[in-house]
Structures are given as C-alpha cells and as structure tokens.
Amino acid sequence: MMKILLVFILAFISMNGFAQTATSEMTTLKRGDYIEPITVRDLKNNDHITPLIGEKVVMIFYADPDTPNANEDFVNKVKQWKFNLEEFKAYGIVNLKDSKYPNGIVRFMIRMIRKRSKREASALILTDPKGTVTKEWNTGDCNNSIGVLLVDNTGQVLFWKAGELTEEETDFVIQQICDHTTNYKKLTEEELKEFDL
C-alpha cells in the first residue's frame, strides 16, 4: 500500500512539474517582458532588422492583411497626437504567414496604400512571411487581428495585445507613450487637416 502511495505521489509531482514547465513555456508576451530586435523582411522581400528596439520608445502594429480595419479606432486616436520622433518610432509589420493572399500581392498593395496620405507616405512597413514575430517574441495567436506592441527605450514591453483594443486600453497606450517621451502634443483639427492629400 505504501509503495502505491509513493508511486502516486511521485507521479503527481512529476506531472505537476511538467504542467508548470509547459505552462511557463507557453506564456505569451506581457508587460514587463523584454524583446530584442529580430530579422523580418522589407517590402522588397529583403532582410530587415526591426529598428530602434532598445533605443527609442517603439510602437509596432503587427497586422494580418486579412483584417485591414481592425483597431481602426485605436489608430485614429493615435494619429491625433504628435510625438517626439527623437524618442519615439511607430511602424508596422505585416503578418504574411497567416494571410490567405500571396505575399507579392500583399507587398504591392501595401506600397499602393502608403500613398493615401502625407503622413503615411514615409511610414515604415515590414513583412513577416515566416511568423518570426510570433516565434521570437512569443506573441501567441495573431491570426485575423492587428496586434499592438509598445516597448520602452530599453526594450521592455509596456503593452501587448493581439486583438481589438478597448477605449481604456487605447487611453492607456497613449498615456504610456506620453509618460516615456517628452514634447508630445494632441493635434488640433487644423493641424490634422495638414496631413490630408
């Protein structure tokens, strides 16, 4: 009887230890984690290292091209602000791995879309045809969403979410950018009109 109890206890401890290990390995990216630059691709399909991580406050939109209007409210609210470009950079990485469209067509469409406003004409947009972002930064499932990642100038994650941001999360992200940069301001209606084509 004692042998059976001992075997049961050892099996439970082993299973519990395995479960804890598996759970910790599967934990997705969260506030307080650190990320480092990774190699993705540019719009001409050349290697490109994710810029300025660990140098500036960086906001990355990790976008599935199958859901182009996801997080539109968040994007529109962020566009109402002007942040100090000496301290802040925002750019997009397109999740080509989960897209149903051919990579070349998506890259071409992105180049055309960039021409829709003065503000977006010089926007940095990279591509991720192999799911490198998900693997290297442990973002979890990003299919059919536009994820928002914000890191400080040390590479520490301030915010990550794959999916639609709530109004509270939107306000939180904007406040985090303001808290970690200087010389930011909310643009007036007149100033916003200057960016229209």
Annotate 156-181 with DSSP letters as a single string: BEEEEEESPPPHHHHHHHHHHHHHT-
The answer to whether position 25 is within a domain reads no
> What is the rounded CA–CA span in Å between residue 166 and residue 63?
17
Enumerate the β-bridge partners of residue 185. Answer: 82
| pTM of full prediction above 0.85 | no
Which of 90, 101, 115, 111 has its CA nearest to residue 65?
Answer: 101
Each residue of 106-127: pLDDT tens digit?
888 787 776 665 666 678 999 9
CA–chain centroid gap for 178, Å, is 18
Which position has the higher pLDDT, 161 or 122? 161
* Token couple for 177: 């950018």
Tell me the mean pLDDT in the region 44-63.
96
The answer to whether position 23 is within a domain reads no
CATH of the domain at 40: 3.40.30.10
Which position has the higher pLDDT, 82 or 25? 82
Q: Which residue has the tokens 């791995």?
A: 97
The answer to whether position 5 is within a domain reads no
The answer to whether position 162 is within a domain reads yes
Identify whether the C-beta of residue 121 lies closer than 8 Å to the C-beta of residue 115: yes
Tell me the mean pLDDT in the region 9-26.
41
Tell me the mean pLDDT in the region 68-97.
93
Which of 172, 194, 188 has its CA nearest to residue 59?
Answer: 172
Q: Quote the domain boundaries for residue 160.
A: 30-193
The answer to whether position 182 is within a domain reads yes
The answer to whether position 22 is within a domain reads no
Which position has the higher pLDDT, 59 or 100? 59
Which of 30, 27, 31, 47 has its CA nearest to residue 39?
Answer: 47
| 84, burial (CB in 10 Å: exposed 0-12, middle 13-18, buried 19+) | middle
Tell me the mean pLDDT in the region 25-33.
86
> What is the rounded CA–CA span in Å between residue 54 and residue 144?
28
The answer to whether position 131 is within a domain reads yes
The answer to whether position 121 is within a domain reads yes
Q: Considering its fold, how many domains does the chain have in total? A: 1
Please report the pLDDT score of residue 116 as a whole number. 66
Please report the pLDDT score of residue 67 as a whole number. 85
**Which one-letter amino acid corresponds to residue 120?**
E
* Mean confidence (pLDDT) of the chain: 85
